[in-house]
Structure 1
Amino acid sequence: MSFYDENGNKVLSSDRQQPPVPLLLRTPLPSRLLGGWTEIMPEAPALYAPFSFVVGDQINFQFPATFWVGNMLASASTGIEFRLTNVKDVSVDGNQLLLRVDTSDPSGREARVTVKADENSSFHVSVKVNQLLREVPLISASFDSTSSEAFRGFGGRRNKIDQRHEAFLNWAEEFSQTPEQLEPLIGDTFGEQYQFPTGPQGAYYIQSLFISDQGYGFMLDRDELSHWRMASDRNDAWRVEVAGGELDFLVVPGNQKQVVSRLSGINGRHRVPPRWSLGPMLSETIQEFTDSPENYTEKVKESLDQIEALELPVTAFAFEGWVGTKKTGAFDEIIQRLRAQNIKPVTYYRGFVGQTEDELEEPEVYQEALSRGYVTKRASGVPYIFGSPLMGGIAALIDFTNPQAVEWWKERIKKGLEEGSEGFMQDFGEQVQVDMVFHDGSSGIAMHNRNAALFHQATRQAFDEFVADNPDREPWFFVRFGNSGRRGSAHYESASWPGDNTADWSRASGLGSVIPDMLNRSVGGAYGFVTEIGGYIDIFGSIDSELLIRWANHASLMPVFRQHGGPVNGTPMPWRFDDPEVVEHYRAAMNRHIAAQPLIYRLWQEALATGIPITRPLWLEYPNDPEAGRQDQQFMLGPNVLVAPVVSPNSDGRDVYFPRGCWQHPETKETILGPQTQFIQAAVDELPYFFSCGAQPFPVPEGGF
C-alpha cells in the first residue's frame, strides 16, 4: 500500500519486496515491565508485513491503587501472528475502495480493508479481521522508513522531540516521573530521562499522531491501547499495533506546516481563552499531611495579603483546597476579596469521586455518585472501587458514557461557577482499568484513553450552557489528562498543563522536561500550554530561589504563566524566601509575560484558525535546517521570537542555536547572525531571548526587566 501527495509524489508506503516471513510465535514478553527497556526485557518479535494480526490472547497488568492507579505495569501478547496476503475482491462505493483480502491464517480467516478520501486532504484506512473461533487481540500496520526519518509529536512526551528509535505504549498514565535525587541510583541503567514507573516516554497527555519530515502525517483513529515501534527494532520500518481486531488510521500528505494544520483540524484545537487567563496566576496548593481547613484558609488569606501589599500583577489565583475554606466559612469571603483585588478565583475538580481525607471534594459527592449509579462498574454490576491516588482512602471513576452522570457532572460544574469560581483545574481521569465496564458497554481497554475526551466534553458543555445564561462571565478550565481522536480532547479543552512536574532541574520530569512536553503536544492542537512553575512533586525538599526564578523566566514567554506548589512543602511563593530580591526577580518575569500577552493572544487566535501553534519547535519554522530539528530546549514564540531558557543549575548562561537570519536581544541589543551556536551569558534573573532583527513582537518596558 502506498500513499501519494497532490503532486503525485510517494510519501508513505509498505511495498518492499521482501521474502515470505514465517509465522511468528508471540511469547509473553512484555512491551513494558515497570517501564523497563529492551536492554532489560527484549520486545516481543514482530511481523513486519503491511498488515498483520495475532490470534491468541493479550495480557495486561495495571496498578490497582497508589499514585499510579490505571498505569500499565506490564502488557504482553501470546499466540501466532499472521499477515494479510492476496486481494480476493475489489469494489468501489462512492469515494471508497473496498477490498476482501486473504490471510496466512490456515483457518481461512479473511480481512476487509477500506480506503477512502477523508477530511483535510487525508486518506482513511480501515482494516477489520474476521473473528472466528479464536479471538484477534492485536492488529498492526507496518510502513517503510528512510534511515533519517523523524517522527515528531505524540502528545506530551518529555524524552525527546523525535521519537525515532523509540518503542512505547500510548496509554495515558499517572505520576510518570522520577525525582532528580534518584538519578544517581538509576542513571546507569535507565538514563536521565527515566520516569518511574513508565519509562522515558510516559505521558499524561497522549496523542496517537505524529508529523514525519518525509511529507506526511499519521493519526491512529482508535482509542485502544496501542504499541508503537518507531524504527526501534529495525532501521528501515516503523509499526503500530492496536488492541483488538480493528484498525483505523489517517494518512495526511503535505509539508510539515500543512500536516500540522490538517492533523490538528481533525483532532481538534484549544479554544481561545479569556484574556484574564493569560495574566500571571498563583496557586495555593494543599500540604496533604499537615494542612487542616483552618491553616489552609490562613495561608490563602496570607497570600492575598502579600499580593496586595507587594502590588504583584496577578490576574488569577487558584485555591485548590476550596472545600476546606467552606468548612471554615471563609469561601465567600475569599471569593469577594479576590474580586475586590480584580483577581479571578480558580478552584479544582477531578474525574473520580473519593472517600478520602483531602479538602478537594465535598464528602457527600462520593455516596451520591455511587448510589445513583454514576460510576464505572465491574462485570458483576457492582461499582468498581479502587485505592485513591490521593491521601489514601477509596475512589470510584465517574462514568461519562452515562448521560445521567454527565448531567449530574454538569450541574456540579455550573454550581461551582454560580458560587463564584471563574475557572478550574480539571485533574485525573487516567484511572481506567482494563476490566472496568462502562454504561455504554465499552470495555476499559477501549475507554482508558477515550475517557479524556468524554470528561472534557462534559465540562465544555457545562461551560457553554452556563455562559449562554450568563453572557457577562468568561469561565476557563485547564486539564492534565488528554488524548487524540476525531475529535480528541483538545477540541473541548481551554488549555492543558504538563502534570505534576518534579520540583527539580531534572530532564526526566523537572524543569528540563517542560519544553519537549510543550512542543510535542503543541503540534497536535494542544498548544494552550499551562506552566507549572516550581513543580509539584516535592518529596525530597523545597526548591531553592535559583530554580524558582529560572522557572519563572522559563515560563514568561509560554502561553499561560502559572505557579504551582507541592503536597509536602507547599507553594514556594516568592515572598516565602529570605532574599527580598526573589520577589523583584519574579515580578520581572511576570511583567515580561504581561508585555507578551497581546502577542500570545493573537497567536492563539491564529492557532485556532490554522493549527500552527503559539510556541513552536524550531523544526516547524526551519524545516530544512537539521540543527534546528535537534533543538529540544529552545522554542519559537510565533515566527519572530527565539526563546532559549537556562535549564541547568549553577549556570551563568547557555549555548543557543540561532537559525538563519539576524537576531537581536531586545534588552541588550546584542545582534547575532545565524546559523550558528553561541554561548549567551544569562544571570539568574535573565532570560536569553531574541527578536528577528527589525521586528518588535512585543514591547520591552523601560529599563528592561
Structure 2
Amino acid sequence: MKFTDGYWLMRPGRTARYATEVADVRADEHRVTLYAPVKHVRRRGDTLNSPLLTVECWSPAEGVIGVRTTHHAGSARPGPEFALPGAEQSAGKVRRDGAVVELSAGDLTLRVDTSAPWKLEFTADGQVLTTVGERGTAFVTDDEDRHFMLGQLSLGVGELIYGLGERFTPFVRNGQTVDIWQADGGTSSEQAYKNVPFHLTNRGYGVFVNHPGKVSYEVGTEAVGQVQFSVEDQSLEYFVVHGPTPKRILERYTALTGRPALPPAWALGLWLTTSFTTDYDEATVNRFVGGMAERGIPLSVFHLDCFWMREYQWCDFEWDPDTFPDPAGMLTRLKDQGLRISAWINPYIAQKSAMFEEGMRLGHLVRRPDGSVWQWDLWQPGMALVDFTNPAAREWYIAKLRTLLDQGVDCFKTDFGERIPTDVVWHDGSDPERMHNYYTHLYNRAVFELLREVRGEGEALLFARSATAGGQQYPVHWGGDCESHFNAMAESLRGGLSLGMSGFGFWSHDIGGFEGTPTPTVFKRWVQFGLLSSHSRLHGSKSYRVPWDYGEEAVDVTRAFTLLKHRLAPYLQRAAQQAHATGIPVMRAMVLEFPDDPAVGTLDRQYMLGDDLLVAPVFTDDGTVEYYVPEGPWTNVLTGARIEGPRWVRERHDFHTLPLLARPDSVVPLGADDQRPVSDWADGVELRVHAFADGAERTLVIPRSDGPGEAARFHLRRRGDRLFVTTDSRHPWHLRVGGPDGSVHSRPADTLEADLPYPA
C-alpha cells in the first residue's frame, strides 16, 4: 500500500509518524528495546502529547535478528500466529560501547547509534547489508480510522528482490506492488494461491515479515530505494536472515519456519488424472490405465478429480454410485496393477450434501457474527466452510478421509482454501483478517497429519494448491489453474521458481495446461518440462491429457521422458533429501545455484534440477530455445554435445531432446530400472561422469528408496588420464564417461575399488 504522494507529500487523508531518534534504551545480555519518539525531543515538554514507538530487537537463531515495532501495546491479539519451530529464546548477544548498541547473532549484527538520528544498520563480515533509515519505522493513520505499521529496508544499487510466494509476475520483484493475500486467481495475474511474506535478495540476506494477515509490499515502487512492507495493525514484526549465499538464507529461514517433509519416492513417477469436467467412470479409468500400459508408459499414480463424488455434493466424500458402483473393488484392482491412488478434496461443504446439515447441527461450519452459517454460491451452491480452528470439526472432517484411506486411497489433492471470508467468527476467536491467509495452513496440516498417522512417516503426501509461510512442511504443491499455451507454461515455471525462493522444496504443475486444450506441440514440450520437474502430473479441465490424444509422437515423447525420470530417480531422491534436510528446493532458480554470476539474476526460463542438471524448457513451436550456460564445460545428457560457458546459446531441438546439461565435474547416478521410480537404486547403478577435470574429486551418495539414508557411497577422483573410484557398495555398478568429442567409455564393475582410464 502506498502512503506518500511523491517524495514530499502524503496522500490525502493519511498521516505518518516516523521514528526520529532513540529516547531510551533497555538492554540485557540477549535483547535490546529502543524507545523512539516520532519527533525530535528538545525539552521535557516535547515528551507530552506525542506517540512513542517501542522497538524490540532480539535473535531467535544464529544469523537471524528480529525487530518488533509497536505503537499501542494494549490492543487485542486474537491470533493466529505463524509457528516458529526453530526459534530460541536467547540466541543473540548484546554489546554496548558508549552510545552504540550492537546485537549480534553469528555473523549478523544490528548496530544502533543512540546519539544519532534514527537508524538501524544490519551488517555482516564488516559489510552493510541493509539499513532502516529516517522513514523506515513508522505508523500511518487515515481518515477511515485505520492504523498501519510500516517498515522500510534500503535497496542497494543493483540489489534484486525475489520470493514472496508463488508469483506469476516478473521473477525479480523490483518495481512491483505485492499484496500477501490468498486468491484463486489462476496463473496469469498479480494474484497468487501461495502468498509468503518472505523475500530474499542478491545481497546476502532475506526478510520474513511475521504476520499471517495481509502484508502489503512496495518493492521500490513508493520509495525507489526501499523495500516497504505494511500491515493494518498496532505492531509489526520482521526477521532479517543472513546468508551470505541464497542457499544459506533458505536454510536459515526454513530452520525457523519448518522444513519440508520427505515425500515418498513412489511419488517421483508419472501421475495421470481423469481431468476435471470430462466424462469418466471406472471404464474410463481402466481405458486410461490400460492405454498407458499398452503403449509402454509406466504410470505410478492415478488421480480421481472432483466428479468421483456426485455433482452439487462436494465435499461429502461419498462416491458417485452411477459412475463408481464398486469403489473399494476398483481401488483394489488399480492397486493390484502397482498404482497408488490420489483423490480430490476441498474444505467446502455444499448445502445439498448430508454433511452440511450434520456440520451445521454440530457447530463445525464457520459462522457469521449473527450466528448463521456463512454460505455463498460460488463453486458449490450454498457451500459452507469447515472451521479447522475447532478441534471437533477437524476430527469430524478427517474422519471422513479415514474411510477413504481404508478403501485404498493413498494421498489427497487438497484443492482450494484461498477464498476465505473475513466477515465471519471463528471457533477459537481468531481474527478473520489474519485467518484469511492462514486457513490453508490449518487445512493442509490436518490432512497431512492424518496421512502421516495412518500411512506412516515418509508416506504422507499432498498435492496442494494453496499455502502460506510454513506450508512448505506439507508437500507437494502444484501451480494451479494455468492455460494451455506456451505463455502459460512459462508463467508456471516462473511461479515455481519464485515459490522455491520462498522456502518450498517441491513443486509441480499441470502438464499440458489446465484450461483449454494444448496443441500437440505444446503438449510434447510441456511433457518434457513436466517430467523434469520434482513431481509430474498430467491434468486438464475440459479435455483429457492422455498422450495418444495428441498423436503418436506425443506417446513416444511421454514414454521416453517417463523412462528417463525413472532412471534419474536416485539423483532426484538425493535432491529431495537435501530439500528435506536444508530447505533448498529440488527445482532451483539459477541465481540460487550461481549467486556470483551477474548474468543469472533475472533468468526465469531455465533452472537447475538438483545440484548438477540444468534444464531449459522449449517454449516455441519451431523448437528454438535460448538459454544461458554458466562457466565451464557442460555436457548435454541427451545428445552428448559439449558446451563451454559462460555464454548464451541458441539451439533448435526436436521433441526428443532439449537443453538438459550436466554441470562440469559432476557425477549423475542413473538407476538400472526404467520401469518404475522405486527400486534398489544401488544395484546396477550407472555413474555418468561429466567433464571431470584433472584433480577433481567428488563423493556421490546413492540414497535409499524407502526413506532417509544411504544405500551406497562412491568417491571419484581424477589424476591425469586415470579415474579412481572407491565405494562401499557390494552391488554391480557401471561407469560412463562423456569425452569432449561426445565419445564414452563404459565398464561394468562390482569391485570396491577401480582404476579406470579417463578418455582424452
TM-score for the superposition, normalised by structure 1? 0.79
Percent of pairs with identical residues: 24
Alpha-carbon distance between aligned partners in 2 of 1:337 and 1:457, rounded to the nearest angstrom: 30
Secondary structure class of the residue paired with 1:385 = coil
Answering whether residue 338 of structure 2 is matched by residue 396 of structure 1, we say no
Aligned to 1:675: 646
| Residue 592, structure 1, aligned to residue 564, structure 2 | yes
8 Å CA contact 2:571, 2:670 repeated in 1: no
Q: Deviations over 1:637-664 (max 9, x none)?
A: 122111101023x122211210011101
Matched, 1:495 2:480: no
TM-aligned CA deviation for residue 404 of structure 1:
1.1
Contact 1:209 1:219 (C-alpha < 8 Å) held by counterparts? yes
The answer as to whether partners of 1:436 and 1:443 remain within 8 angstroms in 2 is no
Q: Which of 663, 674, 678 is the matching residue for 2:634?
A: 663
Pairwise CA distance, 1:120: 4.1
The AA in structure 2 aligned to 1:623 is P
- C-alpha distance in 1, partners of 2:642/2:601? 23
TM-aligned CA deviation for residue 78 of structure 1: 5.2
Matched to 1:336, the amino acid is T
Compared with structure 1, are the counterparts of its residues 474 and 77 closer, same or farther at alpha carbon in structure 2 (3 Å cutoff)? farther
Tell me which residue corresponds to 2:134. Answer: none
Q: How far apart, in 2, do the equivalents of 1:424 and 1:647 lie?
A: 31
Aligned to 1:699: 670
Query: Which of 1 and 2 has higher RCO (CA within 8 Å, sep 6+)?
Result: 1
* Matching residue of 2:341: 345
Residue among 408, 420, 428 paired with 2:408: 420
Relative distance call for 1:94 and 1:349 in structure 2 (3 A) is farther
Secondary structure of the corresponding residue to residue 479 of structure 2: coil
Q: Secondary structure at the match of 1:476?
A: coil
Change (3 A) 1:175 1:313: same
1:516 aligned partner? 494
CA distance in 1, matches of 2:242, 2:665: 35
What's the counterpart of residue 217 of structure 2? 228
* CA shift in 2, pair 1:280/1:259, >3 Å: same
2:606 maps to which of 607, 631, 634: 634
Deviation at 1:160, TM superposition (A): 2.4
Cα distance change of structure 1 residues 120 and 406 upon mapping to structure 2, 3 Å threshold: farther
1:643 to 2:619 alignment: no
Q: 1:253–1:475: structure 2 CA closer, same or farther, 3 Å change rule?
A: closer
Residue in 1 aligned with 2:148?
Answer: 138
Map Cα deviations across residues 168-203 of structure 1 (whole Å, 9 max, x no partner): 2111110334xxxxxxxxxxxxxxxxx3xxx4x321
Indicate the residue corresponding to 1:556 in structure 2.
531
User: Who is 1:6 aligned against?
Assistant: none
Check conservation: 2:3, 2:14, Cα contact below 8 A: no
In the other structure, the counterpart of 2:35 is: 100
Q: Shift of residue 79 of structure 1?
A: 3.8
Indicate if the aligned counterparts of 1:264 and 1:524 stay in contact, CA closer than 8 A: no
Displaced runs of 4 or more, over 6 A: 46-49, 131-134
Structure 2 CA distance for aligned equivalents of residues 624 and 503 of structure 1? 35
Does structure 2 retain, via aligned residues, the 8 Å contact 1:110–1:130?
no
CA contact (8 A) 1:308 1:341 kept: no
Partner of 1:572: 545
Partner SS for 2:426: coil
State the SS of the aligned residue for 1:662. Answer: strand
Q: Which amino acid aligns with 2:509?
A: T
Report the counterpart of residue 281 of structure 2 in structure 1. 296
Is the counterpart of residue 123 in structure 1 residue 46 in structure 2?
no
Question: How has the CA–CA distance of structure 1 residues 560 and 48 changed in structure 2, closer, same or farther, with 3 Å as cutoff?
Answer: farther
Q: CA–CA distance in 2 between the matches of 1:479 and 1:77?
A: 42
The CA deviation at 1:46 is: 6.7
CA shift in 2, pair 1:513/1:531, >3 Å: same
Cα separation, 1, equivalents of 2:61 and 2:253: 10
Correspondence for 2:267 among 268, 277, 280? 277
- State the aligned residue count: 588
1:370 equivalent in alignment to 2:345: no
Counterpart for residue 159 of structure 1:
169
- What is the correspondence of 1:140-289 to structure 2 with a 5 Å cutoff? 140-177=150-187, 195=188, 199=189, 201-255=190-244, 256-287=246-277
SS in 2 for 1:386: coil
More deviation, 419-428/141-150: 141-150
Report the CA distance shift for 1:618/1:467 in structure 2 as closer, same or farther (over 3 A): same
Three-state SS of the structure 1 residue aligned to 2:511 is: coil
Can you list the C-alpha shifts for 1:491-547, whole angstroms capped at 9, x where unaligned?
Answer: 2x12100111112222xxx11112211111113331211221012122xxx212111
Give 3-state SS (helix, strand or coil) of 1:306's partner.
helix
1:443 aligned to which of 431, 434, 440: 431
Quick check: 1:285–1:571 contact (8 Å CA) kept in 2?
A: yes
Task: Determine if contact 2:504/2:583 at 8 Å carries over to the other structure.
Answer: no
Deviation at 1:86, TM superposition (A): 3.5
Q: For residues 504 and 430 of structure 2, what CA distance do their matches in structure 1 show?
A: 26
Quote how far apart the aligned CAs of 1:222 are. 0.5
Unaligned runs of 5+ in 1: 1-30, 32-42, 55-75, 178-194, 357-362
Note the alpha carbon deviations across 1:89-147, whole angstroms, 9 max, x for none.
32124512123332359953332211001124211111111179995531110122123
- Any gaps of 5 or more consecutive residues in structure 2? 40-46, 76-140, 311-318, 675-685, 687-741, 743-760
User: Does the 8 A contact of 1:280 with 1:315 survive in 2?
Assistant: yes
Task: Write the distance in 2 (CA, Å) between the matches of 1:87 and 1:629.
Answer: 38
**Other structure's SS at 2:208 match:** strand
User: Partners in 2 of 1:557 and 1:304 — Cα distance?
Assistant: 22
Give the superposition deviation at 1:689.
0.9
Whole-angstrom distance in 2 between the partners of 1:450 and 1:114: 25
Partners of 2:436 and 2:167 in 1: CA distance: 18
How far, CA to CA, are the matches of 2:414 and 2:221 in structure 1?
35
Deviation at residue 694 of structure 1 after TM alignment: 4.8
Given that 2:153 and 2:227 are in contact with CA atoms closer than 8 Å, whether structure 1 keeps it comes out as: yes
Aligned residue type for 1:277: A
The letter of the residue matching 1:313 is P
2:4 counterpart SS class: coil
Report whether the alignment pairs 1:624 with 2:596.
yes
8 Å CA contact retained: 1:504, 1:543: yes
8 Å CA contact 2:345–2:415 kept in 1: the answer is yes
Q: 1:335 aligns with which of 331, 334, 341?
A: 331
- Give distance in 2, aligned partners of 1:175 and 1:354: 22
Alpha-carbon distance in 2 for matches of 1:283, 1:654: 30
Work out which of the two has the higher radius of gyration on C-alpha atoms and give 1 or 2: 2
Deviation digits for residues 336-363 of structure 1 (CA, Å, limit 9, x no counterpart): 121111010110111222236xxxxxx2
Letter of the 2:404 partner, please give it.
Answer: G
Corresponding position of 2:308: 322
Structure 2 CA distance for partners of 1:420 and 1:106, relative to 1, 3 Å: farther
Matching residue of 1:308: 293
Question: Are 1:530 and 2:492 counterparts?
Answer: no
The answer to whether the aligner puts 1:581 opposite 2:571 as a matched pair is: no
Q: Which amino acid aligns with 2:412?
A: F
Residue 307 of structure 1 and its aligned partner are, at CA, apart by 2.5
Counterpart of 1:379?
369
Counterparts of 2:228 and 2:512, CA distance in 1 = 38
CA RMSD of aligned residues (A): 2.7
Preserved contact between residue 512 and residue 545 of structure 2 (Cα < 8 Å) = yes
Query: Contact conserved, 1:557 with 1:596, CA < 8 A, in 2?
Result: no
| CA deviations over 1:365-404 (Å, ceiling 9, x no partner) | 2222222211222121211112232xx5121121111111
| CA–CA separation in structure 2 for the residues paired with 1:119 and 1:460 | 27
- Deviation at 1:48? 8.7
2:15 aligns with 80
Q: Is 1:478 the equivalent of 2:463?
A: yes
What's the secondary structure of 1:85's corresponding residue? coil
CA displacement at 1:269 relative to structure 2: 2.6
